[in-house]
Amino acid sequence: MKYIELKIHASHQGVEMVTEMLMRNGITGISVDDPADLQDILEKKNEYGWDYIDDEVKSHPDREPVVKAYLEDSPEGRAQLQHLKIEVMKLKSRELEGAFGWDADLGRLYAEEVVVDDEDWKDKWKENFKPTRITDRLVVKPSWEDYDAKAGDLVIEIDPGMAFGTGTHETTRLCMGLLQWYLDPAKAGIGSGSRRVLDVGCGSGILSIAAALLGAEDILGVEIDPDAVQVAAENIADNHLSDKIRVMQGDLTEGIDYEADIIVANLMADLVIRLAGSCARHLAAGGAFISSGILLEKREVVAEAIRQAGFSIEMVVTDGEWCAIAARKC
């Protein structure tokens, strides 16, 4: 099978806007090559900031950031390609109109496409996926890479396939950090015992796996994409956690009979707003709602929707242009 590789050239600031646009249009097979990410790692004070830097990446620090998305080479995929090219042009027009502030620079926002074989896609995206330390405890590694675990490491072995979730995106990192906080009773006091977690839009299953490694005993992952459900189930089995994690196909929380101590949702702002109203019905008293996929410019509108749903905001954490909101059921 052949795929269309859509490459969108942008600035560092533009990468975030392009990624959000693609996700809003249902594209989850996204990879980002941004040299600024390397600089962020080099400047971090954490001891784990230096663990995984490829020499080839270091040798090209001035290259232009590129966002890549992959579509089927079919009439439907071609129609989607044209729609996305128009969306890129709309982003550029909004920038020129000052919609993001007169000092905004989203870069060239130049879109180009090339047809690649299925095997080319499988090999291509793997090039940029290396073992990565996400928190002081959590490490994500692809199944094809070796990793020498340190004392106390919780290692997640993941093969995202065509599902979203490798741990390298800011929104996933934010969620994993908050999960670690809320699953530590000494810090957040989220109950005891089983500590149930509902992972809405679980993608590759990475957050469900992280929750299990961090001590949750019962996790339900929900994902609308049937292919992602299969990928998540395989990743869960590969991490030997099928006894703790179940995955089902569904649209957010519709038709789900499950009460959790923590709900985590790495989606996007509009979906988080839609989800907030039903979250309270699926959370135990004092439970926590962790949401991410939220651009900073949408932070307040999302936070207000969460408050209106009966939550108190406890933390807002940021990484680049993205934020995650942690709230407690009142």
Q: Write down the residue that tokens 């209106």 correspond to.
A: 308
Q: Count how many domains the chain has.
A: 2
- Residues 6-61: tens digit of each pLDDT: 999 999 889 888 988 988 888 866 778 877 655 554 454 443 333 334 444 455 55
The answer on 64 and 195 residing in a single domain is no
From 110, 126, 142, the end of a domain falls on 126
| Domain assignment of residue 21, yes or no | yes
What is residue 254's predicted lDDT score, i.e. its pLDDT?
92
The answer on 233 and 180 residing in a single domain is yes
Residues of the chain with pLDDT under 50: 41-42, 44-57, 163
Q: Are 288 and 251 in contact (CB under 8 A)?
A: no
The answer on 194 and 100 residing in a single domain is no
Domain that holds residue 32: 2-126
What is residue 23's predicted lDDT score, i.e. its pLDDT?
81
**pLDDT over 70, % of the chain:** 83
The answer on 304 and 190 residing in a single domain is yes
Q: Is the pTM of this model over 0.75?
A: no
The answer on 172 and 118 residing in a single domain is no
Question: Whole-angstrom Cα distance, residue 249 to residue 227?
Answer: 10
What is residue 57's predicted lDDT score, i.e. its pLDDT?
46
Nearest to 16 by CA among 36, 38, 45, 46: 36
Edge-to-edge strands, sheet with 138-142? 132-133, 138-142, 154-158
The answer on 174 and 309 residing in a single domain is yes
